[in-house]
Amino acid sequence: MRYKLDKTSHSVYSLHYHLVLVVKYRKKVFKDEAVVERLKDITYDISKRFKVEVLEQEVNEDQLHIIFKTKPTLNITKYITSLKGVTGRYLLKEFPQIKRELYKGHFWSPSYCLITTGQVSLSVLKKYVESQKIK
């Protein structure tokens, strides 16, 4: 089994995640391409500051999906909190039409979905781990 691994002086790792953020009240605010492009730009900027590599990001009408890779030292909760806070603040400020749809000044739902991803399927990984048993 071969992985494409990243390295530091004391570790090797492969950390990939799928993050899903949902707009508060499931409002369909991503119909305007300018809003979508601005969201993506802000996401890239914040990610760069946290040394997170965005591999892919896309939106549907009420969700943001990001696939990213990072180092084991990332404080994921701080990254996601910053991502939600900064993107929400900028988008509400720069696009007043969104502010009218989202009352109380909240852009994102308080929850999020974070899923680890891998370079192999879970079943392949389980078989590999099982094969490591001493015979």
Q: Provide CATH code, domain 6-126.
A: 3.30.70.1290
| Domain locations in the chain as residue ranges | 6-126
pLDDT band at 1 (very low <50, low <70, confident <90, very high): low
Contacts of 14 (CB under 8 A, 6+ apart): 3, 4, 5, 6, 69, 118, 119
Paired sense of beta strands 6-7 and 12-13, if any? antiparallel
86-134 pLDDT, tens digit per residue, is 999 999 999 999 988 888 889 999 999 999 987 777 788 788 778 877 6
pTM for this entry: 0.88
